[in-house]
Chain A
Amino acid sequence: MAKLVYNELLKMFRKKRFLVVVLILAVLIPIFTYAQYITVQTTIKQIGTSDWKAILQQQIIDQENRLTSSRVPDEWKKWTRLTIAQEKYYLKNNINPTSPGAPTFVRKFVEEAVALFIPLIVVILAADLVSSEYGNGTIKLLLTRPVARWKVLLSKYLALLLSVSLVMLITGLLSYLISGIIFGYKGWDLPVLTGFIQQGDQLITTQVHLIPQWKYIIFAYGLAWFSALAVGTISFMVSVLVRNTATSMGVMLAAVISGSLLSQLAPTWQSLRYFIFINLRLTDYLAGKPVIISGMSLPFSLAMLSIWSLVAIVIAFVVFSKKDVLN
């Protein structure tokens, strides 16, 4: 099986699929970095030229004063304490909160990329994996070897899992290295708020706590990786079902983009949450952003992605093993 997976990876690399993906990342990440830089500059201008340390100190004092007041609800007090802890960390470690380092960019980038950008890249890798073999006729050579059809397909799937994982790693590395040029490479230990729980329409903050940013980034990339694999698996199935790469890519792009658009256009359409591509924004649960459609939560989305993926894998393997090769 290792040899078969090697074959598939070799083809993927030699077809320059991988190179294309890395190039896209290498072009877009600097653009995003620059955009982030402009935003930071604007914020700094609005605050004025005064010393950010003084401003932060003043903020902490204000918040502490408010804490002593007995009329403040308990929940709010807890929230304020966390914010103060965060701000004190900034002061102690000499970090300007409006222009944090590369690790913060890495975190924000994956949070933004998870819904559309990463899925599109995965589609580029996965959409022609099987359909191209039909398209150029090499499927006839592939399936007339003494290797069971399911093994041929499994080798392709494993190659896809590996390459998607590699792309996630490269995304993280490139965004760190490139953004660090402008923002500096420090900030791994920055405390970040997490632990939000979604219950019905309400965001429950009782479990909210601070974790170091490196931990948060590992979680965020893990979740983004999971949703990338789900996109890859669906693309893989489509690639088995249709005979040419253009169709396969078209179908997947349409599906991914509709998922992204629908979540913005029709947030009241309840059953939309059972559509796989609505559930890609796993990192939003980590950051405590409001959910798109009520009833969605991290376990719900993980379950949706898993169920859709499993069904897709079963369909792909059954169809591929049974299908007559007629072209």
Chain B
Amino acid sequence: MEAVLSVEHLTKKIGARTIVDDVSFEVKAGEIFGFLGPNGAGKTTTIRMLVGLIRPTSGSIVIGGYNLQSDFLQAIKQVGCIVENPELYPYLTGRENLEHFARMIDGIDTKRIEEVVRLVELDKRIDETVKTYSLGMRQRLGIAQALLGDPQLLILDEPTNGLDPAGIRELRAFIRRLSQEQSISIFISSHILYEIQLLCDRVAIISHGKVLKTAPVVQLVGEESKVEWSVDPLPNAVSHLSNLPYIKNVEQLGKERLMVHMPVEKIAETNQLLLSSKIQVSAIRPMNQTLEDIFLEITGGEGIG
């Protein structure tokens, strides 16, 4: 598959600090790419470089075949973005905001504006001033603004920040729909593993300005997931489980409980096995993994720190 965005050896130093350190990754056509890292990892700084707001100290950014530094106008045409908060002109209406940005791109007519308004479902409130909008609505108007130029790549920087659970669910559904219906690649940053897990095809994990790992989400999560088992008798279960090839590690938590590092999709199979060996299984609990767990795994115990 062709790369819509290709980043090579990207570095940003501010003063003596290296905020983004030799970052490389590719976003392929049509995929949802996650950029996962704790607060202060350098996600926003990377995104600012991707959209030309700040100049990289070194490294290259190629968007849709155009080099961002040498061919800014062509490269930026391929991108729609929201960097940090969806900031729009509060004293203009939603429509006026869109018209304002449409005037900055060639060949955008009122039909296109109508289209994106419908896409983000803001039809009803589009003629009210933005200062009356909720954060969720502003987020959607921000996305509408980003989609105006019909970009190949949509960049969203922690889009769920500040939204309530319902808003987050809604946004997630919207992003998924966008990716399916508009055949657009989406680059989305977050500090919450769960969010990336639910949305993304591939993910790059960043910490202290460095990309630690880039991998398909299923692989990352599959490898590292944990399941808690309550079994009786315990020693029998431990010996059975330890013999299975897909089980990495078995930890004893209490008299009856075991924490097993294993792929979630193997739960049913494992359960069958234990039952047929006359081991009673009274509870199976797949654990929601956290970013911290993955960091522990990748760095071998260093954590987010």
Does A pair with B?
Answer: yes
Interface magnitude class on chain A: 20 to 34
Of A10, A136, A148, A326, the residue contacting B100 (CB under 8 A) is A10
Q: Are B104 and A326 in contact (CB under 8 A)?
A: no
Q: Are A144 and B51 in contact (CB under 8 A)?
A: yes
The reply to whether the CB of A4 lies closer than 8 angstroms to some CB of chain B is yes
Among B30-38, B76-84, B190-198, B259-267, the stretch in contact with A: B76-84
| B76 to chain A: closest residue by CB | A146
Tally of B interface residues using CB under 8 Å = 32
| A145 to chain B: closest residue by CB | B104
CA distance in complex: A3, B105 (Å): 10
52-106 of chain B: CB within 8 A of chain A: 52-55, 72-74, 76-77, 79, 81, 83-85, 87-92, 96, 100-101, 103-106
* A141 touching B73 in the complex, CB below 8 Å, given contacts A7-B104, A326-B48: no
Smallest beta-carbon distance B149→chain A, Å: 7
The reply to whether the CB of A15 lies closer than 8 angstroms to some CB of chain B is yes
Say what secondary structure dominates the interface of chain B: loop
Chain A residues whose CB sits within 8 angstroms of the CB of B52 once the complex forms = 143-144
The reply to whether the CB of A66 lies closer than 8 angstroms to some CB of chain B is no
Chain A residues whose CB sits within 8 angstroms of the CB of B101 once the complex forms = 141, 145
Smallest beta-carbon distance A39→chain B, Å: 42
Of B14, B54, B92, the residue contacting A325 (CB under 8 A) is B54
Binary contact track A179-213/B, C-beta < 8 Å → 1, others 0:
00000000000000000000000000000000000
Smallest beta-carbon distance B289→chain A, Å: 33
Of A11, A136, A143, the residue contacting B87 (CB under 8 A) is A136
Q: Are A4 and B104 in contact (CB under 8 A)?
A: yes
Q: Are A145 and B105 in contact (CB under 8 A)?
A: yes
The reply to whether the CB of A62 lies closer than 8 angstroms to some CB of chain B is no
Smallest beta-carbon distance A320→chain B, Å: 13
Q: Are B81 and A137 in contact (CB under 8 A)?
A: no
* A136 touching B105 in the complex, CB below 8 Å, given contacts A324-B55, A326-B48: no
Q: Are A14 and B48 in contact (CB under 8 A)?
A: no
B interface, CB within 8 angstroms of A = 14, 48, 51-55, 72-74, 76-77, 79, 81, 83-85, 87-92, 96, 100-101, 103-106, 145, 149
Can you list 26 residue pairs at the A/B interface with Cβ under 8 Å? Answer: A4-B104, A7-B104, A11-B92, A11-B100, A14-B89, A15-B91, A136-B90, A137-B85, A138-B87, A138-B88, A140-B83, A140-B84, A141-B87, A144-B51, A144-B53, A144-B76, A144-B81, A145-B76, A145-B105, A146-B76, A146-B104, A147-B104, A148-B73, A325-B48, A325-B53, A326-B14
